[in-house]
Chains A and B, each alone.
Chain A
Amino acid sequence: MSNFFEKSDLTRREAENIVSDTLQKCDDGELYLENSKSESILLDDNKIKNSSYNSDLGFGFRAISDEVVAYSHSNEISKNSLKQSSESLKSTLKSVKGTYNHEIPKSNKKYYNNINPIEQKSLNEKIKILYEVNNYLRSKDDNIKQVTANFLGEQKSVEIIRSGGETLTDVRPLIRFNVSVMLEKNGRKETGVYGVGGRQSYDTYLKNDNWKSVCDEALRIASVNLESKPAPAGEMKVVLGPGWPAILIHEAVGHGLEGDFNRKKTSAFHNLMGQKVASEGVTIVDDGTIDNRRGSLTIDDEGTPTEKTVLIENGILKNFMQDRLNARLMKTKSTGSGRRENYRHIVLPRMRNTMMLSGNQTQDEMIKAVDKGIFAVSFGGGQVDITSGKFVFNCTEAYEIVNGKIGSPIKGATLIGDGPSILKEVSMVGNDMMMDPGIGTCGKAGQGVPVGVAQPSILINKMTVGGTKL
């Protein structure tokens, strides 16, 4: 745990006093302190291209009165700097007359251990594995023209000081290991990317030569793409594989169910609470409490313990995801979804691990039910327009389906759909729910936060596939 006041002219007591003084008559707010250490080691083009280390320290001071948020952040944890921030907040909120809400739920549960993954493995060991990855892949296939592999490790310590001196802390480890390969055959180039990660040590994910399966998967995707033909264009049936394709859920409905967009009534879902928004059998939760997952959090960035929030139950819209601000204004409670990229940013309601739960059909049944369509197995990323509800995601591995059988691989294409109606087009839900491998980062308002997704195989009756073949 970091001691934020150790090398500062500011004592903890003085900081608490400034916080309490500034937040008098505000409805909410806190001082958020953060110390993060991160590393990146990259092998590319047969060489260690980059070994870098970052240490980031700072605070963000927030005061909220009614709907208005005043925020100030700085890298300097000092008496002067905190006082300057306090003045900046006071000058925005000139006439406040609220009552500070001291209530914040407590929990003793922890969803990851207090470790520093960077220190748990020496630089030389990490470099050795990266070279092994390079040699392993290049010896496997003569068509390999490029291999990139990298380690990303982080330990982030946060401390939240609320008015009255209540303090909440969390130490969050996070790692990611990625492999990307490029194949070239007959003048054609294609890439394949795969990775694993979460809130445990590097070794948890890489032991027993597990890194080889990451390499194999990246190579497999690239090899499939090398044989791919142009994707079709137009509306058709789509079968999604289990796991990572759940970024469809994240984009299509997840963002639209975040509290801020619904309080402001700018989400296509804002007037649909309690209504049927998905086919029967479709249940979607957002869960911050799964041990060691990338999107899990012991407490959110406002200090609220995370939970498993049911968003859609058997097709009916049940809950939005809330931080404290939006929960108060919508007269409900925080779901522990208040997150920020780091101390430079304000808190927003965000997703954690967004999951569609299993049904009882098999993937095989779905494929057989399609005359003409596509089977999408892996995705790059997605995006949504919250207001119109239109969302996209990009296939990185997909196949055509012809008369109930999986056919040739097709080139990467964008799929587009309409969030509020797409889940009503889900006609089969598989029994094979899977988590993603721990690689997702979600962007919103310029802030990236680690998230997870999960889903079983699903059959969607109608989606537009953005290929080039008419």
Chain B
Amino acid sequence: MVKDQEFLEKKASYCLGLAKKLGVTESSVVVNNSVSETVNFRNKKLDESNRSDDLGIRITTYIGKKKSSISSSNLLDDNLNILIEKCVETTKNTPEDEFNSLPDKDLLAKEVKDLSLYDDTHIENDQKIDYLKKLESAASNDKKIINTESSFTQNKSNFILANTEGFCAGYKTSSFTASSVTVAKDEKSMERDYEYSSKCFFKDLDDAEELGKQAANQTIKKLNPKKIGSEKIAIIFDKRIAKGILNTFASAILSSAISRGTSFLKDKINQKIFSNKINVFDKPDILKGLGSRNFDSEGVKTDTLKLVEQGVLKHYLIDTYNGKKLNLKSNGRCGGTSNLFFENGTISLKDLLNLKSKSLYITETIGHGSNIVTGDYSVGATGFLVENGEFQYPINEITIAGNFKDMFQNITLANDLDFKYATNSPTMMIEGMVVAGK
């Protein structure tokens, strides 16, 4: 069982009390506990079971404008005493930074709303096994599927965040995650693909058979791929890849990147950085949302932000430290975004596929080719050639490249947004990118 609020609060207040005794001026502490149970199947048989019970504590102490932090997985008082002493000692020896401080008291969250983030249901391993049996049986129906690996994880977490301004809050969250990775083979090629579902509540999880079928179909479709020539072509990003482009945008508007001057979106507030119709929201209070939260990792309240309005950048993602540096107030985004999404476009997926006589539909990218400083983007890709709205054949061993500054200005979105992840995008077309192939 995941530790209760009382246990976590006791540890937190012990730490704040001890730090105060040792002469710190301010401090904050977060204590968390997470209990996960995973069952893995491979080729319709039990492959692995994994139970994890993780405790963690992180304490940050301030002496005036000096700051340091320690973290540990050992919550015994003996160990905490040694660590907090060490932390205070290190704080004394760390140079001052004028922007170091806890959040302004009036910005701290006043209430903790019930956002339906915790499902008390406990799924026994036998139930996980039943789910995986159904999933794998559906996934391996086709003879071309030669390997299936699937997993089911139940996670229950709890945390407390407390600081010397009197803030002390936390809450339980849960997640139920199922995934399936399948390998398909024919005479000429072998390919892999996957499907995945993660929900706060068990009853919302995708149907096992549907998930298995989906994984297998996606994999079989990739068999016998071709390589195409190098050319400039419109790229359509599947939703699971499009969300990554939105995440890159989010890392480029983090106040840390802005204050350090290492983002290609520095000084772009109130400027048009996306195509006209693009709106981007970060909404923390979606019920059962995978990115939902009551406050950020400093305890600052989080309101919905319309980050981009009709293509114009309206907000950075601001924490306390970088906010003070930029002379801006924290908007509760320490630790990044919550439920981040592009508002739906106006055309259907079918119309998007038909927009150009020829385009490339990307289902997977590999490599770490996003450069936040310059905006340059270059990654390996696999997908399908689309002609006149129809999928023609699978493509691989190509790269796609461009610069986000141009890419953002050339986005067209379909109207098929759903909330499968914490960050979500409808299917997205970007014109003007370069494919490198043969």
Contacts and interface: CB of A to CB of B under 8 A. Distances in A.
The finding on whether chains A and B are genuine partners in a shared complex, rather than unrelated, reads: yes
A394 B367 contact: yes
A404 interface: no
A57 B74 contact: yes
Of A73, A85, A392, most B-chain CB atoms within 10 Å: A392
Given A182-B261, A416-B397, A465 B436 contact: yes
Interface stretch (A46-54, A213-221, A304-312, A447-455): A46-54
Contacts of B403: 468
B327 interface: no
A42 to B, nearest CB: 11
Interface stretch (A260-268, A332-340, A354-362): A260-268
A393 B93 contact: no
A168 to B, nearest CB: 23
Contacts of B369: 392, 394, 412, 414, 466
Contacts of A386: 192
Interface stretch (B8-16, B63-71, B170-178, B335-343): B63-71
B139 to A, nearest CB: 14
A183 B225 CA distance: 42
A406 interface: no
Contacts of A51: 68-69, 90, 94
A76 interface: yes
A119 to B, nearest CB: 11
B268 to A, nearest CB: 14
B135 interface: no
Contacts of B46: 68, 92
B368 interface: yes
A233 B87 contact: no
Given A75-B55, A414-B367, A464-B437, A266 B147 contact: yes
Contacts of B125: 91-92
A68 B48 contact: yes
B192 A467 contact: no
Interface string A208-251: 00000000000000000000000101110000000000000000
A464 B54 contact: no
Interface in A16-46: 44-45
Contacts of B48: 68-71, 346
Contact of A44 (B87, B260, B368, B400): B260
A468 B401 contact: yes
Nearest to A234: B230
A385 B366 CA distance: 8
Given A123-B93, A182-B373, A55 B367 contact: no
Interface stretch (A105-113, A152-160, A316-324, A376-384): A376-384
Interface string A64-90: 000111111111100001000100110
B165 interface: no
Of B79, B366, B380, most A-chain CB atoms within 10 Å: B380
A386 B149 CA distance: 14
A243 B364 CA distance: 30
Contacts of B402: 468
B90 A123 contact: yes
| Range, interface on chain B | 35 or more
Given A68-B46, A75-B54, A344-B54, A466 B399 contact: yes
A7 B76 contact: yes
A390 B380 contact: yes
Contacts of A466: 369, 378-380, 398-401, 436
A387 interface: yes
Contacts of A416: 367, 380, 397-399, 436
Nearest to A35: B74
B2 interface: no
B298 to A, nearest CB: 15
A51 B232 CA distance: 47
Contact of B192 (A47, A344, A387): A387
B190 to A, nearest CB: 5
A394 B72 contact: no
Contacts of A57: 72-74, 79
Nearest to A415: B399
A58 interface: yes
A204 interface: no
B376 interface: yes
Contact of B95 (A47, A71, A412, A468): A47
B51 A72 contact: yes
Contacts of A189: 261-262, 264, 373-374
A382 B366 CA distance: 8
B380 A92 contact: no
A191 interface: yes
Nearest to B49: A92
B312 to A, nearest CB: 22
Contacts of A235: 437-438
Interface residues of A, number: 81
B74 A71 contact: no
Nearest to B190: A387
Given A51-B68, A234-B436, A392 B73 contact: no
Contacts of B435: 233
Nearest to A182: B262
B164 interface: no
Interface in B213-233: 225, 230-232
Contact of B90 (A49, A53, A231, A464): A53
Nearest to A264: B147
B382 interface: yes
B262 A146 contact: yes
A312 B42 CA distance: 29
Given A233-B436, A414-B380, A468-B434, A52 B69 contact: yes
B86 interface: yes
A418 B397 contact: yes
A186 interface: no
B126 to A, nearest CB: 10
Interface in A86-108: 88-89, 91-92
A431 B346 CA distance: 60
Contacts of A415: 399
B147 A265 contact: yes
Contacts of A92: 46, 49, 125
Contacts of B69: 50-53
B87 A383 contact: no
B93 A85 contact: no
A146 B261 contact: yes
B371 interface: yes
Contact of B70 (A55, A182, A264, A346): A55
Nearest to B89: A123
Given A51-B68, A53-B86, A190-B373, A417 B397 contact: yes
B271 to A, nearest CB: 15
Contacts of A380: 368
A380 B434 CA distance: 21
Contact of A71 (B51, B147, B262, B379): B51
Contact of A75 (B50, B74, B86, B371): B74
B261 A73 contact: no
Given A392-B366, A414-B379, A470 B260 contact: no
Contact of A390 (B56, B68, B93, B366): B366
Contact of A54 (B71, B260, B371, B436): B71
17 contacts: A45-B260, A55-B73, A67-B47, A69-B49, A75-B73, A123-B90, A184-B261, A264-B42, A264-B149, A346-B48, A385-B382, A388-B382, A390-B380, A392-B379, A412-B378, A414-B378, A464-B399
Interface of B: 42, 45-56, 68-76, 78-79, 83, 86-87, 90, 93-95, 97, 125, 146-147, 149, 183, 189-192, 225, 230-232, 259-262, 264, 364, 366-369, 371, 373-374, 376, 378-380, 382, 396-403, 434-438
Given A146-B260, A387-B190, A468-B403, 4 more contacts: A75-B75, A234-B436, A413-B401, A466-B380
What are the 9 A-B residue pairs with the smallest beta carbon separation, nearest first? Answer: A466-B399, A392-B380, A233-B436, A392-B367, A387-B192, A92-B49, A234-B230, A75-B73, A414-B378
